[in-house]
A and B are shown apart, each in its own frame.
Chain A
């Protein structure tokens, strides 16, 4: 009896309407990011093409800013999909930079030790965030808000006590000849740029002792970090079993636990990864500026979250895309620098942020309804 029933159902089901390609595209989390990216580039190509935004310096300029956003967005994205937030990212950036400067300059440690110790310290703080969240069951919003203040407090307190100032410089000099520092603060593919300059494809200096050398003489290694982290995050999320656990932990932690997913471990690891990304950001920044300031990284946690949300992730967890978050970061960087190139008052960037955030959240909610079949 059951057998014939099975065979009937096995033939094609006339009740399954072919879903339109549009609707199928609509439930991809990256959709918002793709549309936004196209729109933003179209806009600036049309209205700011002559502003210098699209020559070699301009491109490197907004690429670098976007890459900065990307580095912290990847961490925030995976953490948000796992169902948690980290509001301490910005403070962590300030804290990490300050620790490197204190270790390397004040204590004259070799820079590579300063960097490695700082990474260990910050990842441990990330783990602590995670452990408190999973053990107490408190919302990560409140736990990491506490760390936002704790870390920022230390970042201002320590240099004042040790050096009687809030900015510690001299990192670049300390990093001279260090083997690890160039991993965060150098330029790559310089040969390619010299070659492009020689061929006249990119602008070169016409006067001075660097005449003939390209104005842009390489890609900041920061951009390589961003691309590397995006690829790593994307592969981890979509192509590995751990990625499935990230989705499951954020989708419904209890259901995931009942199915044998080690939810607590996943969440703690994602907090640690977010801290890692923040420290990468901080290290690159310290190497670029040659100094650490107590106010570095302010508001970065929100910028990371906004990039992730523009990229299609749901604030409630369980859904999102690293590629989307990377596009969100790109939109961010292009608009911020584009407005600067176009000579628009920079405060308007905040207006833009607010508007695009609202639009993205509304779009995401609508998409979620489609996925869960509410309409």
Chain B
């Protein structure tokens, strides 16, 4: 297999006395969908936040495209081609859909040598991206606050798909979605993966994970329980592990070889 596009080595993250991550190593290859699974509070969101530049890891190393990376802030990660849909969407209710869509990445056109926000381009791109995801907007100037929870999630996802040139991170993107939008999201994950984008997909739904995942990593209380490839683990085993590792001993055995 090719070298991973992003390698997270022994990442630790402490919040004061809380140890959210106690040494997690995961790597993601271009063109694969890597599912992160685990109980509430296991540290999944914290982990992907170190990947997207929101948190600086307390210790550990991030290797991006073969080079050690030190993201100062989310902007750095975004410029490197890593886009994220956060669990708490990072949408601003008072702002319009297209302003939200391009927040931090505004398209610019020059008028008399001065850079101006290209609203026209922002509006058409937003409408197209939303249509692709199966959501019909009243208009690009509709405030995000007037959208339903699922519609907001769809805006966040299509934004990340639009900007995630190399790595696309999705933190529970389907938690509020209807059946049709969910299958749209899963189909989109499949599509961008085939285009060579590395996808990190966090979910609590085993069926969704198995539908698109190539590899599965289960986190529990800030540690990995291991990584399994597709076909190396049954849905039942995965389900048990996600439940928080009550049958950990037995499960660790079944995963041992693949770590």
Asked if A6 contacts B103 (CB within 8 A), the reply is no
Q: How far is it, in angstroms, between the C-alpha of A259 and the C-alpha of B53 when the chains are bound?
A: 10
- Identify which of B52, B95, B132, B147 gathers the most chain A CB atoms within 10 Å of its CB: B95
Selecting from B13-21, B134-142, B196-204, B214-222, the interface stretch reads B134-142
* B119-152, CB < 8 A from A: 119, 131-136, 138, 143, 145-147
Asked if A255 contacts B89 (CB within 8 A), the reply is yes
Q: Which residues of A contact B145 (CB under 8 A)?
A: 371-373
CB proximity of B46 to chain A, nearest CB, Å:
13
B168-198: contact bitstring with A at CB < 8 Å (1 yes, 0 no)? 0000000000001001100100000000000
Selecting from A36-44, A235-243, A304-312, A338-346, the interface stretch reads A235-243
Count how many pairs of residues, one from A and one from B, have CB atoms less than 8 Å apart in the complex: 120
Interface: A5 (CB within 8 A): yes
Interface: B253 (CB within 8 A): no
Asked if A255 contacts B91 (CB within 8 A), the reply is yes
Instruction: Determine the interface band of chain A, counting residues with CB < 8 A from chain B.
Output: 35 or more
Interface: B228 (CB within 8 A): no
User: Closest A-chain residue to B75, C-beta based?
Assistant: A260
Tell me if A's interface is mostly helix, strand, loop or mixed: helix
Asked if A244 contacts B102 (CB within 8 A), the reply is yes
Interface: A25 (CB within 8 A): no
Q: How far is it, in angstroms, between the C-alpha of A247 and the C-alpha of B132 when the chains are bound?
A: 27
Asked if A247 contacts B92 (CB within 8 A), the reply is yes
Q: Which residues of B contact A19 (CB under 8 A)?
A: 138
CB proximity of B96 to chain A, nearest CB, Å:
9
Interface: B245 (CB within 8 A): no
A86-100: contact bitstring with B at CB < 8 Å (1 yes, 0 no)? 000000000000000
Interface: B108 (CB within 8 A): yes
Q: Which residues of A contact B89 (CB under 8 A)?
A: 255
Instruction: Determine the interface band of chain B, counting residues with CB < 8 A from chain A.
Output: 35 or more
Q: Which residues of A contact B54 (CB under 8 A)?
A: 257-258
Q: How far is it, in angstroms, between the C-alpha of A259 and the C-alpha of B75 when the chains are bound?
A: 7
Selecting from A9-17, A60-68, A152-160, the interface stretch reads A9-17
Q: Which residues of A contact B103 (CB under 8 A)?
A: 244-245, 248, 256, 259-261
Asked if A2 contacts B135 (CB within 8 A), the reply is no
Asked if B132 contacts A241 (CB within 8 A), the reply is no
Q: How far is it, in angstroms, between the C-alpha of A40 and the C-alpha of B89 when the chains are bound?
A: 43
Asked if A251 contacts B134 (CB within 8 A), the reply is no
CB proximity of B146 to chain A, nearest CB, Å:
4
Asked if A318 contacts B73 (CB within 8 A), the reply is no
Asked if B187 contacts A260 (CB within 8 A), the reply is no
Q: Which residues of A contact B75 (CB under 8 A)?
A: 260-262
* B85-131, CB < 8 A from A: 86, 88-95, 99, 102-106, 108, 115-117, 119, 131
Picked from B73, B134, B135, the residue with its CB within 8 Å of the CB of A257 is B73
Asked if A247 contacts B116 (CB within 8 A), the reply is no
User: Closest A-chain residue to B118, C-beta based?
Assistant: A241
Asked if A5 contacts B138 (CB within 8 A), the reply is no
Query: Given A372-B143, A372-B146, A248 and B95 touching (CB < 8 A)?
Result: yes
Residues of B whose CB lies within 8 Å of any CB of A are: 52, 54, 73-75, 78, 84, 86, 88-95, 99, 102-106, 108, 115-117, 119, 131-136, 138, 143, 145-147, 180, 183-184, 187
Can you list 16 pairs linking A and B with CB atoms under 8 Å apart? A9-B131, A9-B136, A239-B117, A241-B108, A241-B115, A245-B104, A247-B94, A248-B99, A251-B92, A251-B93, A259-B105, A260-B73, A262-B75, A371-B145, A371-B146, A373-B146
> Given A2-B134, A373-B143, 7 other A-B contacts at CB below 8 A?
A244-B99, A257-B54, A258-B52, A258-B86, A261-B103, A314-B94, A373-B145
The 8 tightest CB contacts between A and B, nearest first, are A372-B145, A260-B104, A241-B106, A251-B92, A260-B75, A373-B146, A259-B104, A255-B90
